[in-house]
A and B are shown apart, each in its own frame.
Chain A
Amino acid sequence: MSRIGVFVCHCGENISRTVDVEQVAKAAGEIPGVAYSCDYKYMCSDPGQTLLKKAVAEHKLDGVLVAACSPRMHEKTFRKAAEAAGLNPYLCEMANIREHCSWVHEDRGMATAKAKDIVKLMVERVRKGKSLAPITVPVTKRALVIGGGIAGIQAALDIADAGHKVVLVERDPSIGGHMAQLSETFPTLDCSQCIMTPKMVDVANHPNITLFTYSEIEKVEGYIGNFQVTVKHKARSVDEKKCTGCGVCMTKCPKKKIPNEFDQGHGMRPAIYVPFPQAVPNTPVIDRENCTMFQSGKCGVCAKVCGPGAVDYEQKDTFTVEDVGAIVVATGFKLYTIDRKPEGSPIQGYGEFGYGTIPDIIDGMTFERLASASGPTGGKILRPSDGKEPKQVVFIQCVGSRAREKGISYCSKVCCMYTAKHTMLYHHKVHDGQAYVFFMDARTPGKGYDEFWRRAVEEEEAVYIRGMVSRMYQRGDKIVVMGSDIQVGTQVEIEADLVVLATAVQPQDGADLLAQKLGISYDKYNFYSEAHAKLKPVECATAGIYLAGACQGPKDIPDTVSQASAAAAKVMTLFAKDQLERDPVVAKVNEKYCVGCFACKKVCAYGAIEEKEIRDRQGNLVKKVAYVNPGVCGGCGTCQATCPSKSIELDGYTDEQIMAMIEAL
């Protein structure tokens, strides 16, 4: 006979208002095998927990049921208390009589009856429960960082500085990300590349960092502490070991008129190129789609001029498998574009702005390149269509952002500040020019941020118009911007030479695909979801995977760097232990009865089930059975429902427990 204790919580009045808790406790006491029952005002409080611990000792309880709120709320609390009292924590369960009962029913009689039933069911669950021991798994103290922008670089450097090995994987030929593209940074207006490039060099030189550029994540297997990540190294067509980075190939390449992605398509690059002069590594890559050699087989100039013989047209994609214990995802963002989106797309384009067909309507990143000393115009503000210096520039904020009707409801966070910066940069470079800004609100919470924005308005003569733009069209060589000024209450029309759109920050293309490989969740915009918005802002729900930077949501540089360091700290915390414990709700095979049909293996989404050979003492094969790798098992129990003979069983949700609960209905 079991000796179960049932503790019925009033939750102040949250439960006792509609549920007669005394009656519930009394009824529980009458269930066979219940040795003790009581009710108490706040079970989760210190005295409540003490009450539980005392009862376990006094009544020699071998199982505990707390009838209170949702187990999602306090299961951990009470399991800890039970453990402190000497019980196995998995013999402590919760009956949810608050969320599932007192809060959703008003009839006291009915609610009390239901609460009694819930307690009755859960008593059976406790009775049939088993002691479970946490599973320990070893930790590989090597981290993978995905993405080589400022977030990835910061996380990689922090982890590496702590003495752990780091693999940094970047999709593009160079690390640096968006920050390397920026001209100057708010709120101090220091040159972005000046603060970024030293960090890039640090990464390249760090003995603990292995850098894979022009590489992508192919496959992720394993689990916290023990990931096996297959990295695809795209064929660079240049041998990184041989290349000295002299750059002769680039100067001799006959194909030079390819729009440069780094300059947002406004500068030109050859077919063999490094994205920008300070690229790390400084090894060129051949853009096979635009290379004459690859397209027609006739050229080969770069190979001929390459002294060390580093150019290799035959190079193939290669794959390596990296064993790591933790993963930091830092894949960053891209900017929304106003072009027409495909039919049925949740996100819309801007027909009223001409769907991106007017050349002198550019986005903020393009303006960064125009303003950058290393950009296509050498830092002169010249408009794309005819290379003239624009005298009237209209900046429009919240393009895509905060626009529910366009499919994006969030605030992109960085635009207010960078638009203020743009007006300043413009004013510094075109003294007789006038900047107008259409804005909804100026959102400038941040150290020195509001002062910065005020400076743009008060000292740098930017005209801020509160209101939105309804339409833009080309008339002659001007862009007519029609908008409203809601403070004056009038229509506004401006003839602009250049329009700069602060388009929304969106996750990178393929963010969802990477998330699926990693098994992490993402929101409807494809931003990665943190485990808890407030208390776990860096962790993913999937253990061992952490987030840094704009892949989780729009962020400016200081926030990104902070989060990257936080993610690194989480990785270091994980690496501080040699072994790690995990929840023991995993499947186990009854080898005696398993006949090895492997239906379980076929339905296991985790690949946790292997084939195991049972041999007799002579070493003859007796049979093959299923084996569950407890470190990999996710604990869903699909295998058990599939197994015809129920020779595989999920701890914590055994058939015995469930059947007993159904019997108690």
Chain B
Amino acid sequence: MNAKASKTHVTCIEPAYYEAITEAIRKEAVQILKDETVVGVVGYLPGRRKGTASPALVTTAEEAGKLIFSPACVNNLSVYLTKAKKGVLKKGKVGIVAKGCDMRALAGLITESQLQREELFIIGVVCPGVYGFGAERTGTLTEANIARKCRECSVHLPDGADVAAGTHTELADLTPEEAEEMARIEAMPQAERWAFWKEHFSRCIRCMACRQVCPFCYCEQCLCDKNRPQAVESSPRPAGNMAWHLVRAMHLAGRCGGCAECERVCPMDIPLNLLNRRMAKELKELYDFEAGLNPVEKGPLNQYKEDDDQSFIK
């Protein structure tokens, strides 16, 4: 439970490590349900198939004793507080198991008045990483099966959580694949960049899974579903696809917590997180803004400074 323990770098993370986190989560979840601190805890239960996990809301101490944490716990659970399970919050305080990237989403949602911090009990996970999409689920996390986003994670420690589960361990010497990919695209000639994205977007089937899974896409009516006026064509044609993904990236700019769930759930393998990463990089460079673990008053695109860069304006 000592999150501040000095961090270690290893070549693989054994199941025992996750078991220790699981124990800590269970202990905490049972406790807060017993003393009625919370009315329920959003966490992970074992999936039906071996090596999987599925999100769950537990409301009794008994159920809480079954919660787990494993490299298969890929989901960002914060989405269960705003969309799917929105009703839960009304009854009282809710506990939630949150990895670093999930906590950024929670912080953003608090910033945007969608959640109140005092209505949450955050069981922060000192997360060493989770499986990548389609990776082999051996129970042990290695460089071979870790998710792309985890390769360059900067929020292993869930600072600001009510409790933290786990000790700090991470895989050593991982190449930052996403950053390299982003640099590769940026280095392309403009026409090639267009071709790259055109190819990706043209595959989009507009299943809207990316929207569904995003903690920040909590609007009750999406701009892109409106037809009076229709700002974004809704059928899966290349023009509308391009518009949808640009609008999505723009709407998430300055808000996205980088959980990369959109990319994980995309059935067409569109590298959506690259767009989010690119916007985050720009806002860091221009306005020194980074999505953090704690709520802020205003996001970078909801505020300004008089001396903001305007070198692009004539």
Contact = CB atoms under 8 A, between A and B. Distances in A.
A–B interface present (Cβ within 8 A)? yes
- Binding site secondary structure of chain B: loop
Given A602-B302, A602-B303, A603-B302, A595 B220 contact: yes
Interface stretch (B14-22, B191-199, B221-229): B221-229
Interface stretch (A175-183, A453-461, A640-648): A640-648
Max chain A C-beta neighbours (<10 A), residue from B112, B230, B303:
B112
Given A602-B303, A656-B228, A659-B229, A645 B221 contact: yes
A647 B220 CA distance: 10
B229 A598 contact: no
Interface string A143-173: 0000000000000000000000000000000
A344 to B, nearest CB: 16
B251 A644 contact: yes
A624 interface: yes
Nearest to B228: A656
A592 B220 CA distance: 8
A646 B302 contact: no
Max chain B C-beta neighbours (<10 A), residue from A645, A655, A659:
A645
Contact of A598 (B113, B221, B231): B113
Contact of B112 (A592, A599, A645): A599
A596 B113 contact: yes
B113 A597 contact: yes
Given A602-B303, A660-B229, A593 B219 contact: yes
A592 B251 CA distance: 20
Given A595-B218, A659-B231, A602 B298 contact: yes
A642 B303 CA distance: 11
Nearest to B112: A597
Contact of B223 (A597, A598, A644): A644
B221 A593 contact: yes
Contact of B221 (A642, A647, A655, A659): A647
B11 interface: no
A52 B219 CA distance: 45
Interface residues of B, number: 21
Contact of A645 (B222, B230, B297, B303): B222
B2 interface: no
Interface residues of A, number: 20
Interface in A563-596: 592-593, 595-596
A603 B299 CA distance: 10
B175 interface: no
B223 A645 contact: yes
B220 A597 contact: no
B114 interface: yes
Max chain A C-beta neighbours (<10 A), residue from B113, B298, B303:
B113
B114 A656 contact: no
Interface string B251-285: 10000000000000000000000000000000000
A644 B219 contact: yes
B258 to A, nearest CB: 18
Interface in A607-665: 624, 642, 644-647, 655-656, 658-660
B219 A598 contact: no
Contacts of B222: 645
Nearest to B111: A597
Contacts of A644: 219, 223, 251
A93 B126 CA distance: 61
Contacts of A593: 219-221
Contacts of B219: 593, 595, 644-645, 647
Contacts of A597: 112-114, 218
Contacts of A603: 302-303
A656 B229 contact: yes
Contacts of B221: 593, 645, 647
A646 B112 contact: no
Given A595-B219, A595-B220, A647-B219, 11 more contacts: A593-B220, A596-B114, A597-B113, A598-B112, A599-B302, A602-B297, A602-B299, A645-B220, A655-B231, A656-B228, A659-B230
3 closest cross-chain pairs (CB), A and B: A659-B229, A645-B219, A602-B302
Interface of B: 112-114, 218-223, 226, 228-231, 251, 297-299, 301-303
7 contacts: A592-B220, A597-B218, A598-B112, A644-B223, A645-B220, A646-B226, A656-B228
